[in-house]
Amino acid sequence: MKPFEFVICIPSRYQSSRLPGKPLIKLKGKELILWAVESAHQLGAKEVTVATDDRRIFDCVNDAGHDVVMTADSHLTGTDRIAECAAIKGWSKDTWVLNYQGDEPSIPRANVEQVLKLLQQSPQAAIGTLYQPITDLDSLFDPNVVKVVTNNQHQALYFSRAPIPWSQRYFNQQAKQLPDNISFKRHIGLYVYKVAFLHQFSRLKPALIEQCESLEQLRALAAGEQIVVAQAVAEMPHGIDTAEDVMRFEQSLTDN
């Protein structure tokens, strides 16, 4: 399969319920958003752009010499923000866009290449994304860990913050471990799509299930779009959502 060009967009907003001002928190003296941008530049993209609605983030990225655009402060999701970024940048409808998470600054290149190939091999799908197996009860019942259930064609059936699929036999009995005959999948917030889909997505009204779960990918499912999913080939590093995550990331830098 021939290699193809893609761009990376990093949606970034200042507000964070668990870690206020997260993009500008300094780790080893450098803002988190800059760790993400520098990491993204190592992934072979034709272009890397930060899309934000906050002047502080804009100035931080711009002063460091990286590409950044100001977007509206009314966007409900990162995908909506990326859609506006695509319009500002004038990316063609056939441009492949990787949604790179600004709070996961060490995404393995193997996973990026995998998700790009995944969508390339599934032209009927609108979005390509990845998951990792859930191996403990705490993660399954943690609402901050997004779960996905897929069909036999590796397409997403549903995403939820709730523990899905629910095992009547085990969970109604207050199980102390996961049943070994059910596959539980933790969704990784790494998406790839074409600009043409982004334009369609931004014109859709937020779906009720999207608003209920606070999960933007449910808008695509509610509209009948296909999301193709595969197990990540490389272990994903822990995202940065809490003060403990900050310490963990800084320790990983020291260890390396």
What confidence score (pLDDT) does residue 47 get?
Answer: 97
List, in sequence order, the alpha helices (H) in the chain. 32-40, 55-63, 78-89, 109-120, 137-141, 168-171, 195-203, 208-213, 217-222, 243-255
Q: Is residue 190 within 8 Å of residue 99, measured between CB atoms?
A: yes
Side chain identity at 235, as an amino acid letter? E
Per-residue pLDDT of the chain (256 residues; tens, 9 = 90+): 445 789 999 999 987 766 778 899 998 889 999 999 999 999 999 999 999 999 999 999 999 999 999 999 999 899 999 999 999 999 999 999 999 988 888 899 999 999 999 999 999 999 999 999 999 999 999 998 999 999 999 999 999 999 999 988 778 767 678 888 899 999 998 999 999 999 999 999 999 999 999 999 999 999 999 999 999 999 988 777 777 777 777 777 766 6
Domains and CATH numbers, the chain: 7-130+187-255 (3.90.550.10)
The Cα 168–Cα 178 span in angstroms is 12
Query: In terms of Cα–Cα distance, which of 4, 11, 46 is closest to 190?
Result: 11
16 burial class (0-12, 13-18, 19+ CB within 10 angstroms)?
A: middle
Instruction: Give one DSSP letter per residue of 69-88, joined into a string.
Output: EE--TT-SSHHHHHHHHHHH
Q: How many CB atoms lie within 10 A of CB 233?
A: 12
